[in-house]
Structures are given as C-alpha cells and as structure tokens.
Amino acid sequence: MAHIMANTESASAPTEVRLSQLQATSSPIETIARVVTCERREVTRKSDGSRRPLLSGLLSDGTATVRFTWWDPPREGIERGAVLHAVGAEVREFRGRAELVFTWRTRVEPASPAELPRVDSDALPFRTVKDLKPGEEGFRLEVRVLRVGRRTVTVGEEQRELHDGLVADRTGPLAFTAWSDFGLVNGEAVRIAGGYVRAFRGRPQLVLDERATVVRVEGAGLPDPAELLRAPPRSIADVEDEGGGEAIAVEGLVVGLLPPSGLVYRCPSCRRSVTRGLCRVHGQVEGQPDLRARIVLDDGTGALTVQAGRAETEALWGLTLEEARRRLRDQPDPTLLEEQLFEALLGRRLRVRGTGTKDDFGVTLVPESIERVDVDLDATAEELSSRLGGGG
C-alpha cells in the first residue's frame, strides 16, 4: 500500500486527542484507544461492483466511547480488547456525534494498555449495574462480591490466570472477569474504577484489566449476598426477554430431556463428549464415563434448558454414576438408561438457580443449585397443623 502524503498534510502533524474531546475537524488526529466491539464486513462499490472490506465498531480510551470505521483493515489480528495507536485518523460527524475513520492514510499499530490515557478515577461518574451496557467504559461502581474463582486459560501460546465471578449492587448482579489478581474475597464491598463492559455470550460482563482500580469500602446500602442468591423465582418468559441473566431462579415442571443425557463419555483432555471413541479435537481417546441431564423446564410462560452435571443428575435421579454403569452392564442399551432417567424426572417440579444465557435455541441455565419443590398437599397440611398445635 502506498503511503504518499500530500504536502499540506505532512505540514500539520496529527495531535494526540482524547476521545472525549473529539470534534469533527478537517485535520487528522492521533489517538490511542481500545477496541470494545468490532465487526468485519464487505461493501460493494457502486462504480465497478467490486467488494471492499471494512471493520467497524466502538473504540474507547477510558474518557469516551466512539464509533469507528476502518477501510481495508488487516486480514486478522484486530480483536475486541486490542489497544490501537492510530496516527492520521479522520474525524467525521455522523448524526451529531463525532466518529473516527481509518483510511489508507492512517497508520495503525498495536499498543499496550499502559499507553492508554491515565484516567483520574475520582472524576468518573458512579453508575449502577442495571444501566451498564456493553461498550461502556469510564465509570465507577460500588458492588458486593458474590462469588469469585480462579481459572487458567490459554491465550495464544500463553497460559494466563484469570479471576471471574459475580458482583452485585441493589439493582442486580453482574458477571466479571479480572486479568489481574485484585485479591477479591466473597462478601466484601468494593469500589471499582477503570473497568469496561463487554458482551459475553450475549450478556454484559465487566472486564477489569491492569488499569482498573479496586478499593475496599464499607458497603452500606449494598445487598447481602445471601439475600441476592435467595431471590424469588422469575417467569421463564421474563428471563427469555432479558436474554438470560446472572444468579436467576426459575421454577417449573420437567417436560422433556434433550440428548445427550444420562451416561455419557468425555474426552480425558478437554471434557468434550466423545462419540464412538472419537473426540472432535483429540481424535481417538479413551472416553471417561460421566452423567448429565439436559432438562427442559416449563413454567407455563415458556421453557428453558437446564444443563445438569454429574452431581445434580445423581441427586435428581437417585442413582450414582457407578450404579448407572452397573445397570448398563445388565441392560446394554444406553437409550433404555436415558428413558429411565426421563421417567424419574418427568413432571417433577424444580427450582433452579444459576446463570442463564440465550442463543438461537433459547435460554440455557447452568445451575448452581437445583431444589425439588414437590408439592405434597397432605404433608403440607400435616406440617401446618403440627406447627399451629405446638406453637401456643
């Protein structure tokens, strides 16, 4: 690609601009910002019908979030979360808002998050969980840590440790991922500044990188974690409308079981289910037996799928993995076992708490707890009368 600058442009070197100060001007600017969202597509030229690639989305530098369009972007390597240093970006106005355009004249290079502008966290506005949307940055949040755990993930060739879980304020819970160890502890109240929100499996997720700060606070007015985790069940139709949610509870009847359920075999390396001794990634493997149930739960307003793992399936079925394997030896047809599991679950009323995500097939709930709420009217009446009798 040719980089021949006209004299007029080389005369005025681009000046570095914060996105909050962005104004549509005739002279190109220099900026360092993070890709919050991006989407690659092609547009057809009217002149000759040829296709031209383009990347568009949102950029943020911690002071503001703006739209950007990048004509003829590199084929790969530009992803959500990447920090870019752009020299010679054009500023245009679209529907009254300034946005950035990278053309063949713009030099774009990867940069490190440390190069992003320093943000004075005390100057950031306070926000609540409920009104945070993917793409937002430059806010403060006071939340209670409901749950935090540590995982190791592979990024490229590198093994990185990340901390993830749930935080909440009075307006609701929010999933988070932290790339640094902030020493978060369950139940503590914290003030977070310098994080950003992205969409993860269709839900907002707070991301804390090395620029984020976490301060312990007293947390007056923040909800008690137990209270949040005990929230009453919601209608499945509502959960569907909101595209899932964190720490949600639903209650309904088991009306179906989706395959594969019952006794399954998993790859020892990646835990994917193995079909005829073959893992999709690792090829021929010795599958390890496991129990699972993909339960269809219906509450009259809608239905969702509950992904029950081994422990939950054992508890619901009243049959351990070992017992299921023994049964399979006596009756070597695995579909029979699946039918027996279905018979054991059908019509049972369950209250399930967990995290719901939505895709084209509807909402899937990964449970943190499954309770049976079998309504036994006789037993309820008996309990009630004994309480009333013994209470005087």
CA-to-CA distance for 119 and 112, rounded, in angstroms? 15
- Residue number, 24 or 281, with CB nearest to Zn ion: 281
Asked if 70 and 55 count as a contact pair (C-beta separation under 8 A), the reply is yes
Give the binding-site size for Zn ion (rule: CB under 5 A).
7
The distance of closest approach from Cβ of residue 268 to Zn ion in the complex, given in angstroms and rounded to an integer, is 8
Q: Tell me the residue number closest to Zn ion, measured at CB.
A: 267
**Close Cβ partners of 359 (under 8 Å, ≥ 6 residues apart):** 201, 202
Displacement of CA 7 from its chain's centroid (Å): 48
The distance of closest approach from Cβ of residue 202 to Zn ion in the complex, given in angstroms and rounded to an integer, is 26
Binding mask 230-269 for Zn ion (x = CB under 5 A): -------------------------------------x-x
The distance of closest approach from Cβ of residue 84 to Zn ion in the complex, given in angstroms and rounded to an integer, is 35
**Of residues 51, 282, 326, 372, which one binds Zn ion by CB under 5 A?**
282
- Residue number, 187 or 268, with CB nearest to Zn ion: 268
Angle, helices 321-330 vs 310-317, to 10°: value is 70
Under rule CB under 5 A, residue 279 binds Zn ion: yes
State the first-to-last Cα distance of the chain, in angstroms, to the nearest integer: 90
The distance of closest approach from Cβ of residue 270 to Zn ion in the complex, given in angstroms and rounded to an integer, is 3
Range 223-232 contact pairs with CB under 8 angstroms and sequence separation of 24 or more = 223/144, 223/168, 223/169, 223/170, 224/144, 225/144, 225/145, 225/146, 225/168, 225/186, 225/187, 228/144, 228/146, 228/168, 228/173, 229/146, 229/353, 229/368
- Residue number, 15 or 269, with CB nearest to Zn ion: 269
- Residue number, 47 or 284, with CB nearest to Zn ion: 284
- Residue number, 43 or 270, with CB nearest to Zn ion: 270
The distance of closest approach from Cβ of residue 283 to Zn ion in the complex, given in angstroms and rounded to an integer, is 8
**Of residues 5, 153, 185, 281, which one binds Zn ion by CB under 5 A?**
281
- CA torsion sign for 193, 199, 201, 204 is positive
Under rule CB under 5 A, residue 274 binds Zn ion: no
Tokens of 234: 């919601």
Range in contact with Zn ion (rule: CB under 5 A) among 165-173, 208-216, 218-226, 282-290 = 282-290
Under rule CB under 5 A, residue 270 binds Zn ion: yes
- Residue number, 144 or 292, with CB nearest to Zn ion: 292
CA-to-CA distance for 307 and 367, rounded, in angstroms? 7
- Residue number, 20 or 288, with CB nearest to Zn ion: 288
- Residue number, 215 or 270, with CB nearest to Zn ion: 270
CA-to-CA distance for 159 and 125, rounded, in angstroms? 35
Tokens of 262: 């019952």
Residues 126 to 165 in contact with Zn ion, rule: CB under 5 A: none
Footprint of Zn ion (CB under 5 A): 267, 269-270, 272, 279, 281-282
